[in-house]
Amino acid sequence: MCGIFGYVGNRNDGQKLVFSGLKSLEYRGYDSWGVGVIPEESKNTIAIKKKVGKIGNANVSDLPGGSLSFGHTRWATHGGVTDANAHPHLDCSGTIAVIHNGIFENYEEIKKGLLRKGHKFVSETDTETLTHLLEDFSKDKPFAEAVRAAFNRMDGLNAVIAVSAKENLLVAARNGSPLVIGFGKNENFLASDASALLPYTRDVYFLEDNEMAVLAPGKVTILNVKTAKEITPKRKRLDWKIEQGEKGKYKFYMLKEIFEQPQIITDIAVSGASQAEEIAKKIKDARGTYLVGCGTASYACLAGSYLFSKLAKRHVNFAIGSEFGYSLDFLNKDSLVIAISQSGETMDILESVKKAKDKGAKILSLVNVPGSSLYRLSDYKMLIGAGQERAVASTKAFTGMVAHLVLLANSLNGGVKEGQKSLMAAVKSVNQILSLKSLRKIKELTSRIVDKKHIYVIGRGLSYPASLETALKIKEISYIHAEGLAAGELKHGPLALIEKGTPCISFLPNDETYGSNLAGAMEMKARGGYIIGISHKPREVFDYYIHVSDAGESSIIPEVIVAQLLAYYLTIKKGLDPDKPRNLAKSVTVK
């Protein structure tokens, strides 16, 4: 979702640095971008360039040089995707600029008052209201104090950067959306994602909710937004690897990330066991455990509920992040919430986890981004260890989540070694899928179904979350409507949609669901469905067969990797960009 990058320092080409910072945030998903700078030659003004669309081959060479600069990638919420609605936004005098992530919930009433006072609005955004409010407030207050007062008037979950040309100051405030300050030598940085700071500094401070930072050349002051009390920041040293995100031999990040999976799962199998045993004790001690995630991560959670039942004979509840907040009144201090998230910044998860915390529940997070908001607010933390995921569609993070859950569920019954074995069987199976022969088979299938309007995917047990994830991958990047179903539900309604030639993907792993899944495939075949069987052995009912060797309880991993490849090749065949699907963002920081 929206990306923010800011710079205050001694370079006089800050705008170029900010522009390249924005490029490193592109993966978050956006529909327009903008850069602002206080020109060295004309200190009392702010120069701005903003454009609809991707950064692509654009540059900021037409902007003047300056040592205070800031930029934004926008993912539209209020107001259409237009140049005028892109950030930064200026006040009437052109000396105050604002960029913003989040939703300014009460902007309408404030805007009405500002219009009455004669302020001129040029965009349809909620953000612009803040620039004019700051213009009013800074008439009789120092700029940082004006930002604090204005931020306190804002309802909603927001991160804001406000710049004053008159005071040569950049002020940031956070409540909800992430912001990280990077400390350099005579220069300081700010970004919505710590990975964007790595080329410049590893010395950072993650701004907490209701904190603000005032960045002047050579100086950063952190304050509590409510009380104005100064805070001594506990800085962190980032020991992350710089993953330049080079695609290497791959044309797209998604394909690169798909191919990284055997190594990631191997690493988890080898080095995740002792941590899993440790964390399993927390689950044992809890009275009521809840797995919570959104989108792809929610399907990992659902898979987890099957794994815990099957392997650990333990009931673990599953909930979608955006819904959990409405159904957690029964939580108490003995409850354990396992929150799973790639980014650790998904607002729907953060909101419900905070509510769960208020009820006294303990939070265990399984996240991929160290230092993320979810990671920091958790009582117990586990890292997925999948490395930076840049394609919007999650692949390696999902299989990493499932791999940890396999180890956790096995650890609960004292059999972590069994979990390791089954993960290594999954790695073997995935390596076969990634062989040229198997890739050819998957590519060939795409030619047969690329023109179809609807695809149905069925499975039972652990293959049910695999079906949901398959459908999500297909729809989000290839824009073909796909629906994942519990195979048993077919005859309760969806079978009515199957007609001659409808592609029906059936998962038939080597487990207790095999016979019933086969029956489901036959029911669809009898209605004319084109049956794509994903299984350890071929069957007559399959019109098209993709082999996935048996990996026991970890079979969901290779099953989903076939689905990732299928979605990827469908997208390529349609000439679309699998890394940046329309309307979607990598880090979903609004509700």
The catalytic site residues sit at 2, 586
Q: Is 127 in the site for ligand F6R (CB under 6 A)?
A: no
Binding to ligand F6R in span 459-478, by CB under 6 A? 472, 476
Q: Is 316 in the site for ligand F6R (CB under 6 A)?
A: no
Interface mask (CB under 6 A) for ligand F6R, residues 433-452, using x and -? Answer: --------------------
DSSP string, 329-340: TT--TT-EEEEE
Q: Is 590 in the site for ligand F6R (CB under 6 A)?
A: no
Q: Is 192 in the site for ligand F6R (CB under 6 A)?
A: no
Q: Is 322 in the site for ligand F6R (CB under 6 A)?
A: no
Binding-site size for ligand F6R (CB under 6 A) equals 14
Q: Which stretch binds ligand F6R (CB under 6 A): 227-235, 338-346, 513-521, 538-546?
A: 338-346
Which residue of the chain is nearest ligand F6R when measured via CB?
A: 295
Q: Is 346 in the site for ligand F6R (CB under 6 A)?
A: yes
Three-state DSSP at 279 gives helix
Residue carrying the six token digits 């999948």: 386
Q: Could you say which of 294, 328, 531, 534 contacts ligand F6R (CB under 6 A)?
A: 294
Distance in Å, CB of 546 to ligand F6R, minimum: 21
Radius of gyration of the chain (CA): 25
- Chain centroid, CA 68 distance in Å: 29
Three-state DSSP at 164 gives strand
CA 483/CA 491 separation, integer angstroms: 15
Provide φ and ψ at 76, rounded to 5°: -55, 135
Of 321 and 533, the one with the shorter C-beta distance to ligand F6R is 321
Q: Which helix (H) or strand (E) holds 505?
A: strand 503-508
Of 368 and 517, the one with the shorter C-beta distance to ligand F6R is 368
In our burial notation (b when 16+ CB lie closer than 10 A, e otherwise), range 459-472 reads: bbbbbbbbbbbbbb
Of 133 and 191, the one with the shorter C-beta distance to ligand F6R is 191
Q: Are 342 and 307 in contact (CB under 8 A)?
A: no
Beta bridge partners of 175: 158
Q: Could you say which of 331, 336, 349, 482 contacts ligand F6R (CB under 6 A)?
A: 349
Q: Are 518 and 487 in contact (CB under 8 A)?
A: no
Is the peptide bond prior to 88 cis by the omega test (within 30 degrees of 0)?
yes
Residues 6+ apart with CB under 8 A from 37: 14, 15, 18, 46, 47, 48, 63, 64, 65, 66, 68, 69, 70
Q: Which stretch binds ligand F6R (CB under 6 A): 31-39, 77-85, 339-347, 438-446?
A: 339-347
Of 430 and 585, the one with the shorter C-beta distance to ligand F6R is 585
Q: Is 295 in the site for ligand F6R (CB under 6 A)?
A: yes
Q: Is 300 in the site for ligand F6R (CB under 6 A)?
A: no
Interface mask (CB under 6 A) for ligand F6R, residues 374-413, using x and -? Answer: -------------------xx-------------------
**Residues near ligand F6R, by CB under 6 A:** 294-297, 341-343, 346, 349, 393-394, 472, 476, 588
